[in-house]
Amino acid sequence: MKIRDSVALVTGANRGLGLAFARALLAGGARKVYAAARDPASVTLPGVQAIRLDVTNPDDIAAAARDLGDLTLLVNNAGILRGSGFLAPGGVDAVRAELETNFFGPLALTRAFAPILARNGGGAVVNVLSALSWISLPSAATYCASKSAAWSLSNGLRQELRGQGTQLLALHVGYMDTDMVRTVTAAKSNPDDVVRQTLAALEDGREEILADEVSRQLKLGLSAEPGAYLGMPRAA
């Protein structure tokens, strides 16, 4: 998948990582960048075409698929974080909301645009996942579950899309310097650097990018004993 002359749709493109994707796609020579947000007025980047798109709204998705028939690259970036545990008050509502945006949103958009990508030569889908796809933090367990589900979704979609020549690239990264985790004091990656790595991986034909040391170490930890996903051991 080449960035130059591509036609891209970036969800959640009004800020954070989505804005960084839109900026980099323009700089890389994309012919057109559709920048999607629930409120298109919040998209202020010159050179993009702002569109209204709530990834949990079937009517918005249908309208986008109807109007964006030239698409060759879908970037499923929109996501939410409720910061809840499963047993916390409101935990069920939190995980439902996160699954609607973080799992069902990318699924619905990919289903809607897969035929369009096929007609336009195959193209690519980028799913923004997380290092938290592989572990569960008590303070954000519901979010972790939604990203774990999105990882499984990406692995399944990749196999189904391969036959039509559509590349699916999954991006895993830990904390980034965005509004979503502005209160977190841990080290954070620069969104522009994450996007640079992701677009380079896309052009190289790769299917997964681990964009920081946290994501690389956590994936290695899946095969450790005990596995990283088991969390901290209980005191004796």
Domain boundaries, the chain: 7-230
Task: Describe the crossing of helices 58-67 and 105-119 by its angle, rounded to 10 degrees.
Answer: 20
* pLDDT given for residue 27 in this prediction: 98
Residue 221 has a pLDDT of 92
**Which residues lie closer than 8 Å to 147 by C-beta, 6 or more apart?**
102, 129, 130, 132, 133
Confidence at residue 106, expressed as pLDDT on a 0 to 100 scale: 98
d(CA 208, CA 223): 18
Rounded Cα distance, 157 and 117, in Å: 14
Q: How far is CA 71 from CA 2, 53, 173, 190, in A?
A: 13, 15, 26, 27
Residue 78 φ/ψ, nearest 5 degrees: -55, 135
Distance CA 86, CA 140 (A): 9
d(Cα 62, Cα 56) in Å, to the nearest integer?
A: 11
Rounded CA-CA distance 176/37 in Å is 20
pLDDT one-digit tens code per residue, 118-151: 999 999 999 999 999 999 999 999 999 999 999 9
Does the active-site annotation cover 143?
A: yes
Ranges of residues in the chain whose predicted pLDDT is under 70: 179-186, 232-236
Dihedral of CA atoms 10, 15, 17, 20 in degrees, nearest 10, equals: 80
Closest CA to 150 of 220, 213, 98: 98
Q: Does domain 7-230 have CATH number 3.40.50.720?
A: yes
Six-digit token string for 76: 């499923």
Q: How high is the pLDDT of residue 188?
A: 77
Quote the strand ranges of 129-178, DSSP E: 167-172
Active-site residue, from 34, 143, 175, 229: 143
| pLDDT score recorded for residue 235 | 40
Calpha distance 40→63 (Å, rounded): 14
Contact 193, 174 (CB under 8 A): no
CA atoms within 13 A on the CB side of 70: 9
Residue 189, pLDDT score: 87
Which pLDDT does position 233 carry in this prediction?
47
